Amino acid sequence: MKRQNVRKALLVIFILSLPITMFYLSPVLTLQGAARGIVTSSLLFVGLSALLAFFAGRIFCGWICPGGAVQEALFSANDRRLKGGRYDLIKYGIAALWLAALVILFIRAGGILSVDPLFGIPGGLSLGTPLSYMMFYIAMGGMVFLSLALGRRPFCRYGCLLAPFMIAGKTAAGKLRLPHLHLEAESEKCIDCRLCTKNCPMSLDVNRMVRDENMASPECISCGACVDVCPKKVLSFAFFSRKKTEEKPGENPN
Distances (CA, A) of 187 to 121, 210, 244: 49, 6, 14
For residues 74 and 147, what is the distance between their CA atoms, to the nearest angstrom? 7
Identify which of residues 96 and 191 has a Cβ nearer to ligand SF4 in the complex: 191
For residues 6 and 21, what is the distance between their CA atoms, to the nearest angstrom? 20
* H runs (alpha helix) in the chain: 2-16, 18-21, 27-34, 41-56, 59-63, 66-73, 90-108, 130-150, 154, 163-175, 195-199, 206-212, 225-229
Nearest distance in Å: CB 47, ligand SF4:
23
**How many of the other CB atoms lie within 10 Å of CB of 104?**
13
| CA nearest neighbour of 221 among 190, 183, 168, 195 | 183
Distances (CA, A) of 82 to 98, 150, 201, 203, 237: 25, 7, 10, 6, 24
Q: Would you count residue 56 as binding ligand SF4 (CB under 6 A)?
A: no
Q: Would you count residue 252 as binding ligand SF4 (CB under 6 A)?
A: no
Q: Which of 135, 143, 161, 223 binds ligand SF4 (CB under 6 A)?
A: 223
Q: Would you count residue 224 as binding ligand SF4 (CB under 6 A)?
A: yes
Query: H or E stretch including 182?
Result: strand 182-185
Q: Which letter does DSSP use for residue 122 in this model?
A: G
Q: Would you count residue 64 as binding ligand SF4 (CB under 6 A)?
A: no
Q: Would you count residue 235 as binding ligand SF4 (CB under 6 A)?
A: yes
13-42 positions binding ligand SF4, by CB under 6 A? none
Stretch that binds ligand SF4, among 42-50, 82-90, 113-121, 195-203 (CB under 6 A): 195-203
Identify which of residues 46 and 234 has a Cβ nearer to ligand SF4 in the complex: 234
Classified as helix, coil or strand, 152 is coil
Q: Would you count residue 254 as binding ligand SF4 (CB under 6 A)?
A: no
Check if the beta carbon of residue 239 is closer than 8 Å to that of residue 179.
Answer: yes
Q: Would you count residue 52 as binding ligand SF4 (CB under 6 A)?
A: no
Stretch that binds ligand SF4, among 76-84, 131-139, 150-158, 214-222 (CB under 6 A): 214-222
Contact mark string toward ligand SF4, 152..191, x via CB under 6 A: -------------------------------x------xx
Q: Which of 146, 150, 230, 253 binds ligand SF4 (CB under 6 A)?
A: 230
Q: Which of 21, 40, 126, 207 binds ligand SF4 (CB under 6 A)?
A: 207
**How many of the other CB atoms lie within 10 Å of CB of 118?**
12
Interacting residues with ligand SF4 (CB under 6 A)? 183, 190-196, 200-202, 204, 206-207, 210, 220-226, 229-232, 234-235
